Amino acid sequence: MPYSSNLAVQIFLDRLGSRTKLGSEEMDVIRSLPGQKITAGGDRDLVRPGDSVDHACLIVDGVVGRFGQMRDGRRQITAFYVAGHMANLQSVVFPSTGASLQALSPVTIIRMPHKALKAAAAKYPALADAFWRECAVDACVLAQWIVNLGRKSAVARMAHLLAELGLRMEEAGLGTSHRYRLELTQVHLGDALGLTSVHVNRVFRQLREAKVVTVSKRVIEICDWNALISIGEFDRDYLHIDTKCWDLPSHRREENHASSGISMQM
């Protein structure tokens, strides 16, 4: 497999390994997973709503969005995926997941057969754990998105998104959290933030005038990170970057519960 693909696999492996203790044998299994490399132009469907798939998509380059769609054609992006992310790992256990995927910029992806991923998970329990855990992190991000959409103003949502994307781009080796190139239009951002593209534009203006963020030619530059995370009420914990899931001390809280009006019986 060519260099860029190896890199994407390595980032994916790093993500898995940062949370789950993997042996060198297990890492080799991931590295030698079979896959078919595919390129697609922007705004091209990768998985259509209702499709049943037999492969998961590892992003090598570009941005992929997970969509929900309304009758009238309006869309809501529910997740962004960049290099090193497995966009629909959950499809391994759920081929008919309603989610649809679309390339938001020209993308390169590797389609990895469920069969191979399942076999890997079956043979190595640590990998099964890692995959499950990866899906759990995805769910955490979705839950945070719900909080943003339900309770935050337009600027706060934007600030939160820019901070999140910064950390993810950095993780993917595509810049730093303070400065990265984002191959998305304002329409795309609006679809993610639940806003119109017009308002996205006005929010950018606000952030620019507050000297928090500057944007030019798709390059996001965050001038005042502290202001950004304050505006967006951003707390990076939910991304679980480098949250180790082994050798954790188990925090028992029975005493607390007992003292807070919860009664127990066997």
Partner DNA sequence: CGGAATGTTGATCGCGATCAACCGAGGTGG
Partner DNA sequence: CCACCTCGGTTGATCGCGATCAACATTCCG
Tell me, residue by residue from 7 to 46, as one string, x for binding to DNA by CB under 7 A and - for no binding. Answer: -----------------------------------x----
Q: Which stretch binds DNA (CB under 7 A): 19-27, 90-98, 122-130, 153-161?
A: 153-161
Paired residues of 77 in beta bridges: 67
Asked whether position 217 contacts DNA by CB under 7 A, the answer is yes
- Minimal distance in Å, beta carbon 110 to a second copy? 10
Q: Which of 31, 205, 244, 257 binds DNA (CB under 7 A)?
A: 205
From the list a second copy, DNA, none, pick the one residue 122 interacts with, judged by a Cβ distance below 5 to 8 Å according to partner type: a second copy
Sign (positive or negative) of CA dihedral 31, 32, 37, 43? negative
Q: Which of 62, 117, 50 is nearest to 90 (CA)?
A: 117
- Minimal distance in Å, beta carbon 223 to DNA? 16
Q: Which stretch binds a second copy (CB under 8 A): 74-82, 163-171, 197-205, 214-222?
A: 74-82
Q: Which of 10, 76, 97, 185 binds DNA (CB under 7 A)?
A: 185
Give the integer Cα–Cα distance in Å for 226 and 208: 15
Query: In a 3-state reduction of DSSP, which class is residue 216?
Result: strand
Closest to DNA by CB, 26 vs 164, is: 164
Closest to DNA by CB, 196 vs 243, is: 196
Asked whether position 155 contacts DNA by CB under 7 A, the answer is yes
Residues of span 117-176 touching a second copy by CB under 8 A? 121-122, 125, 128-129, 131-133, 135-140, 142-147, 149-152
Total residues at interface with a second copy (CB under 8 A): 76
Residue partners of 95: CB distance under 8 A and separation at least 6: 52, 53, 54, 114
Give the integer Cα–Cα distance in Å for 109 and 86: 9
Between the CA of residue 162 and those of 29, 57, 120, 123, 249, what are the distances in Å?
34, 24, 35, 39, 33
Environment class of 166 (CB within 10 Å of its CB; exposed 0-12, middle 13-18, buried 19+): buried
Asked whether position 181 contacts DNA by CB under 7 A, the answer is no
Residue partners of 183: CB distance under 8 A and separation at least 6: 62, 63, 104, 105, 106, 218
From the list DNA, a second copy, none, pick the one residue 198 interacts with, judged by a Cβ distance below 5 to 8 Å according to partner type: DNA
Closest to a second copy by CB, 101 vs 180, is: 101
Task: Report whether 137 contacts 241 (CB < 8 A).
Answer: no
Asked whether position 223 contacts a second copy by CB under 8 A, the answer is no
Closest to a second copy by CB, 215 vs 245, is: 245
In the numeric block, the tokens 């099964």 are attached to 128
Q: Which of 77, 7, 65 is nearest to 37 (CA)?
A: 7
Asked whether position 100 contacts DNA by CB under 7 A, the answer is no
Binding residues (CB under 7 A) for DNA: these are: 42, 153-155, 185-187, 194-199, 201-202, 204-205, 217-218
